[in-house]
């Protein structure tokens, strides 16, 4: 059979959760998931893997364990989507048609968008938790001092706080290893602040000052020379005099022209550029022009496609003005499943609305975490129950326990089974 009532592209966090929730609502709905990978990864723990605080093997499980019962698993790649005739093509198993489509393939790493990054990642002093957290841990263990640079691209990325999480952990590791006095810990970001939500930024700014972390804003990486161990940034603030004033010759910064800054590194951790998969970027379901070009065009509250009313999208691939996290998906999935189910049964959407909730468990050390929860427009949205007993804007040991033990349990045993 090549026709299904509902086809879900993507068997990651978003796709599995929506399928499980739909199945709980109605066991008779014909659902198929298109997902090529036979392994499922709990990527939020990769930050801890990169710091030696979590076993990589514990983040990997068999995909088949989490495909809901009676949902057809098509082990294949989606190749293209033809929304005008409610069909899609796969790489190996041909064409499928649908009544309703949920698009949740996630995003892809695109290191090729940053000149020199692919070659630099082959070196033993350049790493990324987004690609290989085990390598990050090896590099930390072999680091001898010098410039340890942590940075991120100008593209949207999954878990925008991850580049600074590993930086905090590395800084503590350097202290414990007796290397801190001969190490410059540098966090360079294209952004304007350490974190967009003021209540949490206040705590993080204090941490940066207290731990003597060198914080560079408006620093957009534009190329890497792995042989010279050198990264070049473009200073993207219009105040070029400020750029010159804040230059630190003591860490080897050099200004070239009016906006390019070169910096030597002894260790470099980078979030690679990221974007929507090619078949999404080339499809009519994506936004053709503008700042959200290539991402999927959805209503930010209903998660229904703005032009194709039988299509929904959620997760990293959706053009939503909030952080791309698993926590965001936990709030998005009930909206998609309820609205889709109501559309199937009544022809109208349900009243469920997604308000932009996302969460960034900001690990700030080996036993400390700030639980940053927020919604659209960078408005704090902390859990009202937790907030009554714990100040989540501060570093807490209890939140570290939540990150290391509570959230993985919730993910595997509740979220992917449609229970949370």
Percent of the chain's residues with pLDDT above 90:
94
Distance CA 220, CA 158 (A): 17
Question: Are 95 and 2 spatial neighbours (Cβ–Cβ below 8 Å)?
Answer: yes
Q: Confirm whether 159 is a catalytic residue.
A: yes
Per annotation, catalytic residue among 159, 185, 261, 329? 159
CA-nearest of 88, 118, 103, 132 to 315 is 103
Burial classification of residue 249, based on how many CB atoms lie within 10 Å of its CB (0-12 exposed, 13-18 middle, 19 or more buried): exposed
Which of 348, 361, 322 lies closest to 200, judged by CA?
A: 361
Q: How many CB atoms lie within 10 A of CB 22?
A: 27
Paired sense of beta strands 230-235 and 260-264, if any: antiparallel
**Residue 391's pLDDT band (boundaries 50, 70, 90)?**
very high
Cβ atoms of residues 244 and 235 within 8 Å: no
pLDDT, position 387? 81
Q: For residue 268, which of 110, 133, 137, 148 has the smallest C-alpha distance?
A: 148
pLDDT tens by residue, 275-331 = 999 999 999 999 999 999 999 999 999 999 999 999 999 999 999 999 999 999 999
**DSSP-derived 3-state class of residue 73:** strand
Rounded Cα distance, 417 and 412, in Å: 8
Mean pLDDT over residues 237-262, rounded?
A: 89
pTM here?
Answer: 0.96
Rounded Cα distance, 286 and 288, in Å: 6
360 part of the active site = yes
**For the residues of 227-275, what is the DSSP string, one character each?**
TTTEEEEEE-SS-HHHHHHT--GGGT-EEETTTEEEEE-SEEEEPPPEE
Q: Which residue segments constitute the domains of the chain, with CATH numbers given?
A: 3-107+276-356+407-415 (3.50.50.60), 110-273 (3.50.50.60)
Residue 1 has pLDDT above 70, yes or no: no
* Maximum CA extent, the chain: 67
Q: Which of 204, 268, 360, 372 is catalytic?
A: 360
């Amino acid at each position: 059979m090549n026709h299904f009532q509902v086809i879900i592209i993507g068997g990651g966090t978003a796709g599995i959760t929506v399928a499980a929730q739909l199945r709980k609502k109605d066991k008779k709905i014909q659902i198929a998931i298109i997902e090529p990978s036979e392994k499922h990864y709990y990527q939020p723990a990769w930050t801890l893997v990169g710091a030696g605080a979590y076993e990589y093997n514990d983040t990997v499980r068999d995909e088949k364990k989490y495909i809901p019962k009676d949902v057809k698993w098509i082990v294949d790649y989606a190749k293209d989507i033809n929304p005008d005739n409610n069909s899609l093509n796969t790489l190996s198993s041909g064409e499928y048609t649908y009544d309703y489509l949920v698009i949740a393939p996630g995003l892809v790493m695109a290191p090729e968008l940053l000149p020199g990054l692919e070659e630099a990642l082959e070196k033993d002093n350049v790493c990324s938790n987004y690609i290989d957290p085990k390598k990050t841990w090896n590099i930390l263990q072999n680091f001898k001092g010098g410039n340890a640079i942590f940075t991120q691209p100008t593209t949207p990325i999954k878990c925008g706080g991850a580049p600074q999480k590993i930086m905090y952990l590395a800084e503590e590791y350097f202290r414990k290893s007796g290397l801190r006095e001969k190490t410059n810990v540098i966090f360079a970001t294209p952004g304007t602040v350490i974190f967009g939500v003021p209540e949490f930024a206040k705590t993080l700014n204090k941490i940066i000052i207290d731990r003597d972390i060198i914080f560079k804003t408006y620093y957009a990486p534009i190329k890497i020379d792995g042989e010279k161990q050198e990264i070049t940034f473009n200073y993207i603030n219009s105040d070029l005099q400020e750029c010159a004033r804040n230059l630190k010759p003591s860490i080897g910064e050099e200004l070239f022209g009016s906006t390019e800054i070169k910096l030597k590194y002894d260790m470099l951790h980078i979030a690679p550029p990221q974007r929507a998969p090619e078949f999404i970027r080339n499809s009519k379901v994506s936004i053709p022009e503008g700042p959200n070009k290539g991402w999927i065009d959805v209503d930010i509250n209903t998660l229904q496609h703005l032009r194709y009313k039988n299509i929904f999208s959620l997760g990293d691939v959706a053009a939503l003005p909030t952080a791309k996290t698993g926590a965001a998906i936990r709030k998005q999935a009930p909206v998609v499943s309820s609205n889709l189910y109501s559309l199937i049964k009544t022809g109208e959407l349900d009243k469920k609305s997604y308000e932009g909730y996302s969460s960034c468990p900001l690990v700030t050390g080996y036993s400390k975490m700030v639980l940053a929860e927020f919604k659209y427009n960078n408005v704090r949205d902390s859990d009202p129950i937790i907030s009554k007993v714990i100040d989540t804007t501060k570093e807490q040991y209890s939140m570290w326990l939540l990150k290391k033990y509570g959230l993985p349990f919730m993910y595997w045993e509740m979220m992917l089974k449609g229970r949370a």
